[in-house]
Amino acid sequence: MASVAPTVEFDLDQISLRELNQFLHHDLGSGDHVEITHPNGRHSIAVGIDADVDVQIRGHAGYYVAAMNKRAHVTVHGNVGWGVAENIMSGVVRVKGNASASAASSGRGGLVIIEGDAASRCGISMKGCDIVVGGNVGHVSGFMGQLGRLVVCGDAGAGLGDSLYEAVIYVRGQIASLGADAREEPLSKSDISALVELLDQAGFAHEPSEFKRIASSRTLYHWNAAHLGSYG
Amino acid sequence: MSEESYSYNRHVIDYIQQAAERGVYDIRGMGAKRRLPTFDELVFLTASLSRYPLEGYRERCVTKTILGTRKAKRPVELATPITIAGMSFGALSARVKEAIGRAATAVGTSTTTGDGGMTPEERQSSKTLVYQCLPSRYGFNPDDLRKADAIEIVAGQGAKPGGGGMLLGQKINARVAAMRTLPEGIDQRSACRHPDWTGPDDLTIKIEELRELTDWEVPIYVKIGASRVLHDVKLAVASGADVVVLDGMQGGTAATQQVFIEHAGIPTLPAVRQAVQALEELGVYGQVQLVVSGGIRTGADVAKALALGADAVSIGQAVLIALGCNSRHYVRSAGGDHAWESVDVTDEYRHLGTEPGFCHHCHTGRCPVGVTTQDEELEQRLNVEWGARRLQNYLNVMTMELSTLARACGKSNVHHLEREDLVALTVEAAAMAQVPLAGTDWIPGKKSY
Ligand code: SF4
């Protein structure tokens, strides 16, 4: 008989954030299922997990929820503050509501899904993570994005993709304006398959061909012909 | 012969003509080169009849320094108050990082990572390693975060307060590029604002996040470039910092705009005094430690910084100089045990358009002595063993100079040095440091001492 992973419950009205995070860092069993109730907008909930676990946060979370996540699947059943899943390394973080500024900033791997809207600077400084936003993103999203993919199913605010490096942004709706050095490029086959994969993982049934591809025109790079091959 | 204009002298003319010719501003390495008030303008009132000195070399003078006592479970404990400032892998080679780590470990002090992340070489060689959290977040990750003995959130730097950095493409080899997740050979901008917080209220939450990530084990430092010091130190303290690192205008950089280096921020001398005032006004002096950097060159500078109220100092440019920066030669092993031979590289300095003693060309990646380079051939010029020994010597000399001055002031602990032990040689220094002008009891801005 297959064993059922145990569920561990934490009520943040009853225990401290520090106890919760220390449990998540040191006492988790593989495959554990963690339920967190009464988050009440507290900051830094479930930061720095490095385990194959499923974490459900029942309510709104403050800044930096699931920051620096590795391997874990974290779902927030509510809205989140600044820097959700900042510097995420791997795993999946899903927000059922909206996210405030700097969602998944400097994320290096893994997938962040915002089912609602994300505010300004979504994906700022991203370094390899994937982000799918069901609604709109605020201004200067994707700023200095180095690597990874940001998919926006709604509209994007002003200055999208400013100073982009090698990250790629896909937008289905309107773009208020592009930032410095960002440009629209035609969708390639590999863009379509990336979109199919990411939309599928995020659970959004949009037609990939409806998206625009935004990438760096690389005019702000220090051009060096000898390294042209590295630019992809 | 006609007279040279003061306002439009040959340097100004050259600057205007270069700007007109090239249409770009100057980017360079190191720190401010113009004349600035330094600790040289202060002297100690050592003991005679009114104070008893301690016997040099015989009576103990404690140099032990503890940083991060406010909230961390494991404060940083050092054998000397002289620490090594953050310098990036990218600006420096991995060999230099290793030499620094070895020297620091030998003398019992800490080293600091930089923009670009933590290299295994420096973690291995450094007993106590401070991990920087910078706006760029290049190479930043939770595994290295947990390996750190302290975390330093960099809000600013003395060489460029309010400005970001730049690592020019010529220094981006495959390893540097991979650590920073960027293509090889492109100019890499380092942002001046953190991606996930803005202002002191956010910083409070950011600090708490880093504490949660590291189980409240290690101290959190906040580094600021000296500009509005009184306010910035107070805000860093209010945000929850265990340690404030204050980098004065003389602080170095691997590369930034010359206009920043020479025209932004305030010198270290007045900055220390303002920082101490801020801590005193908040009633946290001694509880939140102050580390001062920017133009600390000698044991006397360290002693003066401590007397003004700092708990420790950190050095960057002086480390590079100890490792051979601006030297006419580099050395290579001559076979036998500790036998070295010098190789003259004056021509290579000339090739960069400079001379030994005048170089600030770190940004080019063509460092003639192999200190600030990523070039495979050039970086070999820094012999790790030789460099570690030199730096160890230098750190030991400074620590001995420091304790010598402390003993002469009658102190059995370098941290007992106090402002009362100092006077200033110029009115300006007296005003900035708020110590009396030598031979008087006059402190500018105060009625009496
Ligand atoms: S000698 Fe090397 S480290 Fe020193 S200023 Fe010149 S390039 Fe920089």
Q: What one-letter code names the amino acid at B236?
A: A
Beta-carbon neighbour count of residue A158 at 10 Å? 15
How far, in Å, are A51, A56, A74, B141 from residue A68 at the CA level?
12, 17, 12, 7
Q: What one-letter code names the amino acid at A200?
A: D
Nearest Cα to Cα of residue B268 among B115, B429, B153, B404? B429
Backbone angles phi, psi at A19, to 5 degrees: -65, -40
**CB-based burial label for B160 (10 Å; 0-12, 13-18, 19+):** buried
Interface of A with B in 97-126 (CB under 8 A): 102, 105-106, 108, 121, 124-125
Distance (Å) from the C-alpha of residue B195 to the closest C-alpha of chain A?
A: 6
> How far apart (Å, rounded) are the C-alpha atoms in residues B50 and B412?
17
Check B205 against A62: CB less than 8 A apart. yes
Band (pLDDT 50/70/90 cuts) for residue A188 is very high
Domain chopping of chain B, boundaries: 28-328+384-433
Instruction: Name the β-bridge partners of A95.
Output: A76, A114
Beta-carbon neighbour count of residue A13 at 10 Å? 9
**CB-based burial label for B313 (10 Å; 0-12, 13-18, 19+):** buried
Q: Could you list the beta-strand ranges (E) of chain A.
A: 7-11, 33-37, 54-58, 73-76, 92-95, 111-114, 127-133, 147-152, 168-171, 182-185, 212-216
Q: For ligand 1, atom 4, name the residue with the nearest CA.
A: B325
Q: For ligand 1, atom 2, name the residue with the nearest CA.
A: B367
Nearest Cα to Cα of residue A180 among A138, A219, A207, A152? A219
> How far apart (Å, rounded) are the C-alpha atoms in residues A201 and B120?
35
Give yes or no for residue A182 having a pLDDT over 70: yes
Beta-carbon neighbour count of residue B21 at 10 Å? 8
Q: How many CA atoms lie within 13 A of A52 on its CB side?
A: 3
How far, in Å, are A45, B104, B123, B208 from residue A49 at the CA level?
10, 32, 23, 16
Q: Does residue B182 belong to the interface with chain A, where contact is any CB pair within 8 Å?
A: yes
Q: Are the beta carbons of A222 and B169 closer than 8 angstroms? A: yes
How far, in Å, are B187, B223, B311 from residue B143 at the CA level?
27, 22, 29
The pLDDT value recorded for residue A222 is 61
Q: Are the beta carbons of A47 and B212 closer than 8 angstroms? A: yes
Give yes or no for residue A45 having a pLDDT over 60: yes
Distance (Å) from the C-alpha of residue A207 to the closest C-alpha of chain B?
A: 31
Distance (Å) from the C-alpha of residue B360 to the closest C-alpha of chain A?
A: 21
- Per-residue buried b or exposed e for A16-55, using 16+ beta carbons within 10 Å of the residue's own CB: ebeebbeebbeebeeebebebeebeebbbbbbbbbbbbbb
Check A48 against B213: CB less than 8 A apart. yes
Check A125 against B191: CB less than 8 A apart. yes
Which conformational region is residue A87 in: left (phi greater than 0), alpha (psi within -120 to 50 degrees), or beta?
left
Interface of A with B in 122-161 (CB under 8 A): 124-125, 127-128, 143-144, 146-147
The pLDDT value recorded for residue A232 is 33
**CB-based burial label for B71 (10 Å; 0-12, 13-18, 19+):** middle
Provide the 3-class DSSP secondary structure of residue B428. helix
Tokens of residue A177, six digits:
């304006």
Q: What is the CB < 6 Å shell around ligand 1?
A: B 29-30, 320, 325-326, 359-362, 367-369, 371-372
Band (pLDDT 50/70/90 cuts) for residue A78 is very high
Nearest Cα to Cα of residue B74 among B214, B204, B212? B214
Q: Are the beta carbons of B314 and B296 closer than 8 angstroms? A: yes
Q: Which residue in the set B141, B189, B206 is minimally distant from A108, CB to CB?
A: B141
Tracing tokens 């030998």 back to the chain, one arrives at B106
The pLDDT value recorded for residue A3 is 54
Q: Are the beta carbons of B105 and B324 closer than 8 angstroms? A: no
Tokens of residue B217, six digits:
């084990």
Q: Does residue A46 belong to the interface with chain B, where contact is any CB pair within 8 Å?
A: no
Provide the 3-class DSSP secondary structure of residue B331. strand
Among chain B residues, the shortest Cα distance to A49 is held by: B213
Query: How does DSSP classify residue B421?
Result: G
pLDDT in tens, A94-136: 999 999 999 999 999 999 999 999 999 999 999 999 999 999 9
Q: Which residue in the set A64, A108, A144 is minimally distant from B209, CB to CB?
A: A64
What H or E segment, with its residue span, contains residue B203?
helix B199-213
Residue among B348, B361, B364, B378 whose CB has most ligand 1 atoms within 8 A, to mutate: B361
Check A64 against B206: CB less than 8 A apart. yes
The pLDDT value recorded for residue B185 is 78
Band (pLDDT 50/70/90 cuts) for residue A228 is very low
The pLDDT value recorded for residue B448 is 58
Name the CA radius of gyration of chain B, rounded: 22
Percentage of residues in chain A with pLDDT exceeding 70? Answer: 93
* Interface mutation vs chain A, best among B167, B212, B218, most A CBs within 10 Å: B212
What H or E segment, with its residue span, contains residue B340?
strand B340-344
Quick one: B28-328+384-433 is in which CATH superfamily?
Aldolase class I (3.20.20.70)
Check A144 against B213: CB less than 8 A apart. no
Q: Which residue in the set A50, A125, A230 is minimally distant from B195, CB to CB?
A: A125
Tracing tokens 């920073």 back to the chain, one arrives at B180
Distance (Å) from the C-alpha of residue B100 to the closest C-alpha of chain A?
A: 29
Residues in chain B with pLDDT < 50? 449
Distance (Å) from the C-alpha of residue B386 to the closest C-alpha of chain A?
A: 34
Among chain B residues, the shortest Cα distance to A141 is held by: B195
Name the CA radius of gyration of chain A, rounded: 18
Give yes or no for residue A29 having a pLDDT over 60: yes
- ipTM, 2 decimals? 0.93
